[in-house]
Amino acid sequence: MKIMVVGGGGREHAVIRKLKENKLVTDIFALPGNGGIAMDATPVAISATDIPAIVDFAVKNGVEYAVVTPDDPLVLGTVDALEGAGIPCFGPRANAAIIEGSKAFSKRLMKKYGIPTADYEIFDNAQKALNYVATAKLPVVVKADGLALGKGVVIANTREEAFEAVRSAMEDKKFGKSGETVVIEEFLTGPEVSVLSFTDGKCVVPMVSSMDHKRALDGDKGLNTGGMGTIAPNPFYTPEVAKECMEKIFKPTVEAMNAEGRPFKGCLYFGLMITPDGPKVIEYNCRFGDPETQVVLPLLESDLFDVMRAVTEGRLAETEVKFSDGAAACVVMCSKGYPLKYEKGFRIDIPEDLIGKVFVAGAKLEDGALVTSGGRVLGVTETADDLETALRLAYEDADRISFENAFMRRDIGQKALEKIRAH
Ligand code: AMP
Ligand code: GLY
């Protein structure tokens, strides 16, 4: 079968590697893919948001199944367009992808259906938002409504920071249209857990839990990034928490989307905080997380392509989705300076025996050699019986991969290890 994956980061590389395990899959096209993905799929120079070109390519090349993984193509309706051309897809339609595309939508959904989340107010008038933060309890969280490349959230510790966050989103239009509406919400505390799930709109099957490390520097210091490393499973996600999440969050969310006439099919990502009052939703994503996917899929023992097609065809309840009992760790290697300014174009050396453990995010091929082309360059994932071993192996691997100006956090998984040891 000829299949296509829309996207071109480390997450897509992990998805592609897993899809390749299915014997029916003969060809995988990656739109646009990247220099590292080229080892596992055929890159096609079409942007992930150029919907007419994506559909045209799929039709002309006899693509039989499409997997759409990044947020913006999903929110823009890539799945709707491909399905319109008769191509079955993994991923939600635009009317369901709005669960990530608009924070105002998702907050209203949670309030209406009693799904636990931080208290909030929504504003489309800057003066009213400023008046509100003038007396709000600090810290206060200011969020741009729409997609903002993960940069639309400000945790304001002072009144001045809160005013600045509102002004830059609503008056200076720092995030364009995405910030014309803002959600201002209560600051929650507690460990964060990412739970990706498969859902066909009828049942919801959580994948192994994971933990991202979003800040650029050790000790959770520095700027927010796309993610500097992940571990799975997340030790804060105990069986009791999992049960509570299933009853109070996962099932109610899938049912709420159905009740709204927006059935969600694909990977629904729950960004959770385990607060002193129980688990609450920090955010929904309409897709696999990056770099959560790089630890979750290597632990999936079932066939990903089979599971994806079961989701598409509404057969998830009859399909086995099994994860290993082991642990996984992914360490992300970046270009020094990320998430701000960084240099690129440096040659990447990956020892032959590590190729299968590396998921490439920001690299391209130049005269046959892999060179850096992005802030997050690659992630290296190891699986083992326990987290400590997986982490040690992942760092040993990362230390054998080199490119100029390489940078990584040295404390991925430490909080999780402390939690495990405290048990
Ligand atoms: P989001 O893009 O909504 O996931 O927010 C990015 C990050 O900001 C989250 O991973 C949390 O660490 C933090 N965050 C978001 N909302 C809150 C909140 N209400 N209270 C505390 N931290 C938050
Ligand atoms: N790692 C967080 C995300 O994918 O949004």
Q: Give distance in angstroms: CA of 277 to centre of ligand 1.
A: 17
State the pLDDT confidence band at 299, using cuts at 50, 70 and 90.
very high
Of the chain, the end-to-end C-alpha distance in Å amounts to 47
Q: Give distance in angstroms: CA of 376 to centre of ligand 1.
A: 21
- Measured from the alpha carbon of residue 226, the closest ligand is 2
Do 193 and 206 touch, CB atoms closer than 8 A?
A: no
Over residues 280-305, the mean pLDDT reads 98
Over residues 161-175, the mean pLDDT reads 93
Looking at ligand 2, which atom is closest to the CA of residue 11? 4
What fold does the segment set 2-93 form as a domain? Answer: Rossmann fold (3.40.50)
pLDDT digits (tens, 9 = 90+) for 177-192: 998 999 999 999 999 9
pTM: 0.96
Domain 125-180 has CATH 3.40.50.300: no
> What is d(CA 44, CA 41) in angstroms, rounded to the nearest whole number?
9
State the pLDDT confidence band at 231, using cuts at 50, 70 and 90.
very high
State the pLDDT confidence band at 25, using cuts at 50, 70 and 90.
very high
- Measured from the alpha carbon of residue 215, the closest ligand is 1
Instruction: List the chain domain ranges.
Output: 2-93, 125-180, 192-318, 327-422
Cβ of 290 below 6 Å from ligand 2: yes
Write out the CATH class of domain 192-318: alpha beta
Q: Give distance in angstroms: CA of 14 to centre of ligand 2.
A: 14
pLDDT at 149: 78
On the question of pLDDT at 148 being above 90, the answer is no
As a whole-number percent, the residues of the chain with pLDDT over 90 amount to 96
The residue whose CA has the least distance to atom 3 of ligand 2 is 289
**Mutation test residue for ligand 2: of 11, 212, 228, the one with most atoms within 8 Å of CB:** 212
- Measured from the alpha carbon of residue 120, the closest ligand is 1
**Mutation test residue for ligand 1: of 153, 183, 194, 286, the one with most atoms within 8 Å of CB:** 153
**Mutation test residue for ligand 2: of 290, 332, 412, the one with most atoms within 8 Å of CB:** 290
pLDDT digits (tens, 9 = 90+) for 260-274: 999 999 999 999 999
Looking at ligand 2, which atom is closest to the CA of residue 287? 4
Q: Phi-psi region for residue 261, left (φ > 0), alpha (ψ -120 to 50) or beta?
A: left
Q: Which of 143, 131, 66, 160 is nearest to 107 (CA)?
A: 143
The residue whose CA has the least distance to atom 2 of ligand 2 is 289
Say whether 125-180 and 2-93 share the same fold: no
Cβ of 212 below 6 Å from ligand 2: yes
Looking at ligand 2, which atom is closest to the CA of residue 292? 1
- Measured from the alpha carbon of residue 223, the closest ligand is 1
What average pLDDT is seen over the chain?
96
Q: Which of 266, 244, 255 is nearest to 116 (CA)?
A: 244
* Ligand 1 pocket, CB under 6 A: 118, 141, 143, 153, 155, 185-188, 192, 214, 271, 282-283
Cβ of 303 below 6 Å from ligand 2: no
pLDDT digits (tens, 9 = 90+) for 107-147: 999 999 999 999 999 999 999 999 999 999 999 999 999 99
Q: Which of 5, 56, 62 is nearest to 297 (CA)?
A: 5
pLDDT at 241: 98
Instruction: Name residue 334's beta-bridge partners.
Output: 376, 407
Looking at ligand 2, which atom is closest to the CA of residue 227? 1
State the pLDDT confidence band at 150, using cuts at 50, 70 and 90.
confident
DSSP 227-280: -SEEEES-TTS-HHHHHHHIIIIIHHHHHHHHHTT----EEEEEEEEEETTEEE
State the pLDDT confidence band at 275, using cuts at 50, 70 and 90.
very high
Give the CATH architecture of domain 327-422: Alpha-Beta Complex (3.90)
Q: Phi-psi region for residue 103, left (φ > 0), alpha (ψ -120 to 50) or beta?
A: alpha
Q: Which of 193, 203, 258, 204 is nearest to 232 (CA)?
A: 193
Q: Give distance in angstroms: CA of 290 to centre of ligand 2.
A: 5
